[in-house]
Amino acid sequence: MDAAATADGPARRAVLVDQVHEAIKARIMDHAIAPGERVSIDGLARELGVSPTPVREALARLESAQLVVKEPLRGYRTTPLLTPAQLADLYHFRLLIEPWAAATAAERADADGLARLEAELGAADAPESDTYAAYRAFSAHDARFHQLIAELAGSDQVREAFQRTHWHLHIYRQYYDRGIGPQALAEHRRVADAVLARDPAAAGDAMRAHLEQSHARLRPA
C-alpha cells in the first residue's frame, strides 16, 4: 500500500498519510488506544497494512494536536486525559475571552461574516452515535463555530489560541455521549442569533452560558 502510494507520487502519498492519521486518531479518541498508553509504530503499521513511514508521519501530526507525546528513546505515548483542575483551567481561559469575542462579533461582523455564521449553523448536525466517526463532523463544526466567532470579532490572537489548545479534541476524549450534540447546537444557535441581531450583551451572555453548561456536562465524567 505504501509502496504504491510512493510510486504514484506525493499526492497519493499525502492521501495515504491522511488516512493513516485519521485511523490512528479515531483509535485514540475512542480509547481503543488508552490515554497514557504506549503507541507501537510497528504494531499500527501491521494493523493498518502500511509501512511504518506513514505511521510515523501521522504520529508527528498527532503530536502537534497534543494527542500523543514523543518520549526520548522510548517512542510515542498517548497523552493522559485532562485532570479536573486542568479541565477547569481550560474553561476559565475560555470564559475570559469567548464572551468578549461573541459580544465584539455582534458589534463588528459585516454582512459577509454574518452570512458565514448563518451558513455554519445551517449545515451543522448532531452526531447519531457516541463514536468518534460519528462525532468527527460535529467536532469540526464546533471548532469552526468558535473560531469563526473569534474571526468576526477581528481577533487573530483569540482564533490562534483556540487552534493551539485543541480544546475540542480534549473535551471529546474526556467524555462524550449523544446528549451533548443537540444541547451544544442549541446553545450555538442562541449565540449566533444574538450576533446576527447585533446584540453584544446578549451574545456575550449566551456564550458565557454555553461554556458554563458545557463545563457542567463534563464534570460528572
pLDDT in tens, 37-74: 999 999 999 999 999 999 999 999 999 888 999 988 88
Residue written as cell 450576533?
A: 195
Q: Partners of 39 in the beta sheet? A: 76
Collect the ranges in the chain with pLDDT lower than 50.
Answer: 1-7
Q: What is the pLDDT of residues 141-157, one digit of tens each?
A: 888 999 999 999 998 88
CATH number of the structural domain spanning residue 131: 1.20.120.530
The count of domains in the chain is: 2
Examine the fold and report which residue of 50, 78, 106 is the final residue of a domain before the chain moves on. Answer: 78
* Residue 7 lies in domain: 2-78
**Domain closes at, from 52, 78, 104:** 78
Domain end point (choices 25, 54, 78)? 78
CATH code at position 51: 1.10.10.10
pLDDT at 8: 56
Sign of CA dihedral 154, 211, 61, 74: positive
Same domain assignment for residues 74 and 99 = no
| Residue-wise DSSP of 151-212 | HHTT-HHHHHHHHHHTHHHHHHHH---TTHHHHHHHHHHHHHHHHHTT-HHHHHHHHHHHHH
